[in-house]
Amino acid sequence: MQFFHNFPLDLFIIQTVNGIVAGMILALVASGLTLIFGIMDVVNFAHGELFMLGAYVGVIVIAYTGNFWLALVVAAITIAILGAAIQIVTLRPLIGRDPLNTILVTFGISLILQNYALWQFGPVARRMPDPITGHFILFYLDYPWYRMVIAGLSGAIIGGFYLFLKYAKFGVWIRATTQDRVMAQAMGIPVPWVLTGVFALGAAMAAASGVLFAPLAGVDFSMGLDWVLKAFIVVVVGGMGSLGGSVVAAIFISLLESYAAIWLDPSQAVIVSFVVLILTLLFKPTGLFAAPK
């Protein structure tokens, strides 16, 4: 009884909301990563840098036009093109080689992109204003509407992507290529371009997450690594290659971290995701939430 008397219920609910918001962004990042891994067997080390560059593009577009939605679209398209270029130049030559090569190459790319950002934009973080002002009262907090919008948008993008995979022509091509690359080609599906498209799509999703996240905490050249690490953990815990699993795992881990932040220092709360990873590896290495294929 004593426990419930002291239990910070309002703080708990606030952290639940925070956890879901963070979880939705993480889900979007992880979805891109899962997509690329599930279909191309490529572990995209540079995913965090695509996220970061997307955020920077967003910052620049907003500085010029003040329009957040334009920033979102421009960032997604620009980074999608960058992603396609990366895939064509560095990953196509590696098709058929040991998949560990792709991890090395995408690692090299993350190095280049990160240092490029440092060089171009400097070490100081950039801020982005909230695109939607206004708060609502959540217990004793002025909770910004914007956060709910991000969560909603992330969900909408993931949902839209799921529908795309299921019904659109390119979506059918992607699923056919995943199941049987050889026969997909024999049916006239231009598999090399499907792979490029998939990578570009994953990159666009990373970039969109970056723009959505930017108003929350500012943009700097090193933000990529933390996100890609967490995204990897989500992908492993969610079951590598499982879109639904990634989304559930992202929210699960973010919620746990939010709750941990009630008692722990934020920089230590990140240990929660590591612990979840360790437990998953020990007891269910195929993934806690892996959907049956």
Partner 1 sequence: MTRHMTRHDKIYWAGFAVVMAILIVAPLVLPEFWRRFLTEVLIWGLLAMSSDLLIGYTGMISFGHSAFFGLGMYGAAAALLLVSPPNLWLAIGLGLVGAAAAALFVAYFSTRLRDIYFAISTLIFSQIFYVIIFTWTSLTGGENGLIFSRPHFSIPFLVDARFTTTTLHWFVLAVVTASYLILRRITQSPFGMVLQSIRENEARTRAIGFSVQHYKIVAVMLSGLFAGLAGVLYGIQNEFVAPNFVYFITSGDTVIFNVMGGIGTLVGPILGAGFFQLLHELMSRVFGDQFPYLIPLGFIFIAMIIFLPQGLLGFARRWLNK
Partner 2 sequence: MSALAATSPQLLVRVEGVHTYYGKSHILHGVSLEVAPGEVVGLLGRNGVGKSTTLKTIMGLVQPSQGRVIFEGMNITGMPSHKLARLGIGYVPEDRRIFRLLTVMENLRTGLDRHGVSDQRKAELLDKVFTFFPVLGERASQAGGTLSGGEQQMLAIARAMMLEPKIILLDEPTEGLMPRMVSQIRHIIDVLHNEGVAILLVEQNVPLTLEASQRIYIMEKGMVRHHCAASELHASHPIIKQYMGV
Can you give the binding site for partner 1, defined by CB under 8 A? 43, 90, 93-94, 97, 99-101, 103-105, 107-109, 111-112, 114-116, 118-119, 225, 229, 232-233, 236, 240, 265, 267-268, 270-271, 274, 277-278, 281-282, 285
Question: From partner 2, partner 1, none, which one binds at residue 141 (CB under 5 to 8 Å depending on kind)?
Answer: none
Helix or strand or coil: residue 242?
A: coil
Helix or strand or coil: residue 127?
A: coil
**Length of the chain, in residues:** 293
Q: Choose one: 41-49, 103-111, 115-123, 181-189; the region binding partner 2 (CB under 8 A).
A: 181-189
Q: How far apart are CA 103 and CA 82, in angstroms?
A: 18
Burial class (CB in 10 A: 0-12, 13-18, 19+), 25: buried
129 or 190: CB nearest partner 2: 190
117 or 205: CB nearest partner 1: 117
68 or 161: CB nearest partner 2: 161
Q: How far apart are CA 33 and CA 47, in angstroms?
A: 7
Among candidate residues 30, 3, 18, the one with its CA nearest the CA of residue 161: 30
Tokens 């970056």 correspond to 210
Site string for partner 2, 159-178 (x = CB under 8 A): ----------x--xx-xx--
The verdict on 96 binding partner 2 (CB under 8 A) reads: no
Among candidate residues 263, 208, 257, the one with its CA nearest the CA of residue 233: 257
CA dihedral of 44, 45, 46, 48, whole degrees rounded to 10: 100
1 or 100: CB nearest partner 1: 100
Helix or strand or coil: residue 287?
A: coil
Contact 244, 38 (CB under 8 A): no
Q: Which amino acid is at 114?
A: Q
Site string for partner 2, 190-219 (x = CB under 8 A): xxx---------------------------
The verdict on 186 binding partner 2 (CB under 8 A) reads: yes
Question: From partner 1, partner 2, none, which one binds at residue 119 (CB under 5 to 8 Å depending on kind)?
Answer: partner 1
The verdict on 291 binding partner 2 (CB under 8 A) reads: no
Point out which residues bind partner 2 (CB under 8 A).
169, 172-173, 175-176, 179-180, 182-192
